Structure 1
Amino acid sequence: MPANLTPQYLEAEQRYREAQTLQEKLSALKEMLATIPKHKGTEKLQADIKRRIARLKDELEKKKKQKRGFTLYVEREGAGQVTLVGGPNVGKSQLLTAVTHATPEVADYPFTTRVPQPGMMTYQDVQIQLVDLPPICAEYMESWVPGLIRNADAVLLLFDLSASDPLEQIENVREQLYQRKIKLIAQSPAESQSLSIAHKRTLLVGNKVDLPEAMENLKIVNELYSRTFPFLAISAKTGEGLEMLKEMVFRLLNIVRVYSKPPGHKAEFDRPFILKKGSNLLDFAKAVHKDFAEKLKFARVWGAEKFDGQRINRDYILMDGDVIELHI
């Protein structure tokens, strides 16, 4: 029986291959086990994943007892996890405070952030986890920072638009991460790219656009990077650009929201299912219930580009905002 592995499983498997720490590997394996289709054709693969999870747990326990090394891990929440990276004093903590309910320490001196600070940002009907990290610079970087970036879904690279060196800020962060086998990119990587390097979809965010010095730098950065990365200018202090930031972060995650409509009932708009772009009807059926994919007779869709209640095939590619009625 073919395995019919889902996009979510394949993405977790890719994250496992790229993982550099035991905790990252364990997190990816758990996600692989949670997203693998449960049928006879995957029984051996499920057993192998469980064995690897057990071995990693033993290794982690031994390391704890030996008190060797130091690492930090942020449990994933919401529709996706996005890390905030940048040099000292670019306003990462201020941005986290402005768009979430988190309360990190915010100060005008560098290296205020010493540990990861997560917060949940609301975009329409979904929650996205932002994680503020300590500064990245050539002089010093916390050893556990690359692991958190590697394990995240995407990156916001913040820089100070009012500073005299915004281009240097951007390139310093890119270079420091690349030295640690993390490449910041605009689009999802091609399959042929090296598995030893973690490719992270990135949004460039120029902060402090409210300051007079920022306007000239804004033109320069836009001219040099607009074809390389998506770019947005904001002010975490005044709130300028923050609503657009939320929308761009959602797009950066490459996900779609799909709503269930039980036959004979209204659509459940209060609880969207979050799936990767490119997922099909069978992926949605599995997300609703592990047995629905095999039992599915047919389905209907309501969406912007479809006739209301149009009947769809099992390989129908889901669109953001689709309402799906499954008939079992």
Structure 2
Amino acid sequence: MPANLTPQYLDAERRFREAATPEEQLAALNEMMATIPKHKGTEHMRADIRRRMAKVRTEAARKRTSGRGPTWHHVPREGAGQEVLIGAPNAGKSRLLAALSNATPVVAPYPFSTRTPLPGMVPFENVQIQLIDLPPIAAETAEPWLFALIRQADGALLVADLASDDLLSSMEETLTLLERFNVRLGRGGAPSEGDGDPGGRGGSEGAGASEGGAPEGAASGSVPTILVAAKADAPGAEGRLDILRELCAGRWPILAVSAETGVNVDALRAEMFRLLDVIRVYTKARGRRADLSVPFVLKRGTTVQDAAAVVHKDFADRLKYARIWGTRMFEGQMVQREHVLEDGDILELHA
């Protein structure tokens, strides 16, 4: 029996192969086990995943008892995806987390107020996105677990401080440390409606996501990234934003935000969702209305067959066809297993 592996499983398997730490390995293996189709054709694969998980746990426990192993932090994924806030000391990450989410970080005028990962849930329309405030990227906090969390995230918000005269040097130090620890920040596409600069000027910073795939320019294995220019209300912010554009031209899309005044906070929520490159799909039973309050969140490029396996394992093998209601389809149009779904599609499965 064919395995019919889902895109979510294949993505988790790629992260396992690229994992550099026990933290990354175990997180990827857990996701592999959660997303692998459950049928006879995958019995051996599931057993192999369980063996790998046991081996990683054993090795991690041995390092802890020996006293020579490092401390690792793991934040279980929640919501539509997991994104991280990264930046230099005092860049404004904690204030952004407080403005975007339900979290209550320590917001202080002194650096290094964040010492451990602090997650919060960011609402966007009918989904929640997990956002983790990490300790600042600096030589004093450059521990392997910090960079492991960045590598395994679905997206990154690279925060630059528009209130700082040391903007360029702090950005260069941050990027140097990320490179030293093998963290690659990929291009996440352009903000939807201009770059949100404090002067209100329009204009897009960079190309958008390519049709049905990863954002243009995104490197394989890199973390999709938005450059968040924080403290856009600060004196001199507009001039520093121009400098930031010159420094990072073409590398990442830029969005200027003020957590104090609320400028572009909602736009940042929308950009966080776009950064995940996912779609929301709804299901309905024959003759009934769809429940549009809680969608299935799937990777862009997911087919009807993939979605059926996520909805219920039995549908994957028994599926005959589906009907779809969506913006690009006729109402209730019949489609086959290979049909690629779009954001907002309503799916009626027929077995």
- TM-score tier (shorter): over 0.9
Amino acid at match of 2:112: F
Worse-superposed segment, 268-277 or 15-24: 15-24
Per the TM alignment, residue 174 of structure 1 is displaced from its structure 2 partner at its CA by: 2.0
Confirm or deny: 8 A CA contact 1:161 1:206 kept in the other structure: yes
Is 1:64 the counterpart of 2:87? The answer is no
Per-residue deviation, 1:226: 4.5
Does the CA contact (< 8 Å) of 1:267 and 1:323 recur in 2? yes
Quote the residue 1:4 is aligned against.
4
Report the CA distance between 1:225 and its aligned residue. Answer: 3.0
- Show CA shifts across 1:237-263 (max 9, x none): 111100000000101011111011111
Moved more, 6-15 or 48-57: 48-57
Match 2:289 to one of 266, 269, 276: 266
Unpaired runs of 5+ residues, structure 1, are none
Look up the match of 1:315: 338
Measured after TM superposition, the shift of residue 140 of structure 1 is: 4.2
1:265 aligned partner, one-letter code: R
Mapped partners of 1:33, 1:101: distance in 2: 30
CA distance in 1, matches of 2:22, 2:133: 22
Measure the CA separation in 2 of the matches of 1:183 and 1:175: 11
Q: In 2, Cα distance between the equivalents of 1:317 and 1:298? A: 13
Which position in structure 1 is the counterpart of 2:234? Answer: 211
Task: Report the 3-state secondary structure (helix = DSSP H, G, I; strand = E; otherwise coil) of the residue aligned with 1:274.
Answer: strand
How far 1:299 moved relative to its partner?
0.7
State the distance in 1 between where 2:27 and 2:163 align.
39
Note the C-alpha offset of 1:45: 1.6
Q: Give the drift of 1:43.
A: 2.2
**SS of residue in 1 equivalent to 2:30:** helix
SS at match of 2:291: coil
C-alpha separation in 2, matches of 1:45 and 1:176 = 37
Residue of structure 1 in register with 2:125 after alignment: 124
Paired AA for residue 165 in structure 2: S
Say if 2:122 and 2:130, in contact at 8 Å, map to a contact too: yes
C-alpha separation in 2, matches of 1:189 and 1:256: 14
Q: Aligned partners of 1:253, 1:169: CA distance in 2, in Å?
A: 27
CA distance in 1, matches of 2:183, 2:144: 14
In 1: Cα distance, 2:3 partner to 2:330 partner:
33
User: Is 1:238 matched up with 2:269?
Assistant: no
User: What is aligned with 1:85?
Assistant: 86
Shift, 1:125, TM fit: 0.4
In the alignment, what sits opposite 2:33?
A: 33
Counterpart position of 1:111: 112
CA contact (8 A) 2:159 2:229 kept: yes
CA distance in 1, matches of 2:243, 2:328: 39
Q: How does 1:7-26 map to 2 (within 5 A)?
A: 7-26=7-26
2:317 corresponds to which residue?
294
Instruction: Please say if residues 86 and 93 of structure 2, whose CA atoms lie closer than 8 Å, have aligned partners that are also in contact.
Output: yes
Separation in 2, partners of 1:12, 1:37: 13
Supply the distance in 2 between the matched residues of 1:142 and 1:62 (Cα, whole angstroms).
Answer: 20
CA RMSD of aligned residues (A): 1.9
Give the TM-score normalised by structure 2: 0.87
* TM superposition shift of 1:23: 2.4
The answer to whether the 8 Å contact 2:162/2:229 transfers is: yes
Cα distance, 1:162 vs structure 2: 2.3
Q: Does 1:149 align with 2:150?
A: yes
Deviations for 1:29-58, whole angstroms, at most 9, x for unmatched residues?
Answer: 111111112233322222211111122222
How many correspondences in the alignment?
A: 324
Which residue of structure 1 aligns with residue 167 of structure 2?
166
Match of 1:199 in 2: 222
Structure 1 position 270, deviation (Å) = 1.5
Q: What are the superposed Cα offsets for residues 202-228 of structure 1, whole Å, 9 maximum, x if unpaired?
A: 100000111121011222323443522
Q: Please say if 1:225 is aligned against 2:221.
A: no
Q: Is the 8 A contact 1:174 1:184 kept in 2?
A: no
SS at structure 1 position matched to 2:255: strand
Structure 1 residue 66, shift from structure 2 partner: 3.0
Moved more, 218-227 or 155-164: 218-227
Amino acid at match of 2:16: Y
Structure 2: distance between partners of 1:80 and 1:43: 28
Q: Is the 8 A contact 1:87 1:159 kept in 2?
A: yes
Identical residues among aligned pairs (%) = 50
Comparing 20-29 with 284-293, greater Cα deviation is found at 20-29
Matching of residue 184 in structure 1 with residue 191 in structure 2: no
In structure 1, the residue matched to 2:270 is: 247
What is the rounded CA distance, in whole Å, between the counterparts of 1:172 and 1:320 in structure 2? 38
Query: Which stretch of structure 1 is more off in the superposition, 62-71 or 225-234?
Result: 62-71
Inter-CA distance 56–139: structure 2 relative to 1 (3 Å threshold):
closer
Structure 2 stretches of 5 or more lacking a match? 189-213
Is 2:144–2:181's contact at 8 Å kept on the other side of the alignment? Answer: no
TM-score by length of 1: 0.93
Contact 1:154–1:200 (8 Å) recurs in 2:
yes
Q: What corresponds to 1:277 in structure 2?
A: 300
